[in-house]
Amino acid sequence: MVYRVDGSRLCRPVRGPALLLKLLLLLFLFFFGGCSDTPTAGSPDTFAESLQAALDGAFHQAQGRGLSVTVLAPGEPPWTGVAGVSHGSVPITDRSVFAAGSITKTFTALTILRMAEDGLLSLDDSLHSWFPAYPHVDPDITFRQLLNHTSGLFDFVDKPGWFSWVYSDPSRTW
């Protein structure tokens, strides 16, 4: 179920990157579409081989560049599969590092909303009831305000000249 920041249910599906959706659909079909106890000729012998075959098929169909997928399934060891290249002709490995970018905001919001749904926290809890006090941060800011962007915290990338400042010293640790 998908929720809005105010806690109400959102009735329309959330759309994500096409490659990821195709891959997830193919993995879903793999898990639930081919439920037969009789192996077919040339079929993979193990769970890991089956997952890699599904990943390779989805990747080929989507004409992707490179990806890494981890599957945690009950009764099976964790599995990570890879396909494609990172940059140039460098192959993706199970140790490749990817820049997550802004997608982490979605996962963080979802985790907070699930915790609120489970009663582990309230969207109206003060940020400081869960985290230490930070200088120049209002102690009354709530999770709800953070999630719906009404906390009043300044977005540093809106500061005039910020990008010039960062690019002028790219080796600086921020």
* Distance set, CA 155 to CA 146, 150, 163, 173 (Å): 12, 12, 13, 19
What would the pLDDT profile of 67-109 be if each residue is shown by its tens digit? Answer: 888 888 888 888 899 999 988 889 999 888 877 778 888 888 9
Could you give the CA distance from residue 159 to residue 16 in angstroms, rounded to a whole number?
Answer: 30
Other CB atoms within a 10 A radius of the CB of residue 48 amount to 15
Weakest mean pLDDT among 46-50, 58-62, 99-103, 106-110: 99-103
Position 58, amino acid: A
Question: What is the pLDDT of the chain when averaged over all its residues?
Answer: 77
Q: With 90 as the cut, is the pLDDT of residue 142 above it?
A: yes
- Confidence band for 124, pLDDT divided at 50, 70 and 90: very high
Q: Which residue has the higher pLDDT, 22 or 73?
A: 73
Q: State residue 10's pLDDT score.
A: 43
Looking at the chain, the whole-number percentage of residues with pLDDT higher than 90 is 17
* Cross-strand bridge partners of residue 156: none
Q: State residue 24's pLDDT score.
A: 52
Q: State residue 1's pLDDT score.
A: 43
The arithmetic mean of pLDDT across residues 45-64, rounded, is: 85
The arithmetic mean of pLDDT across residues 46-54, rounded, is: 87
* Distance set, CA 45 to CA 37, 38, 53, 118 (Å): 12, 11, 11, 39
Give the predicted TM-score (pTM) of the model: 0.46
Q: Which residue has the higher pLDDT, 124 or 36?
A: 124
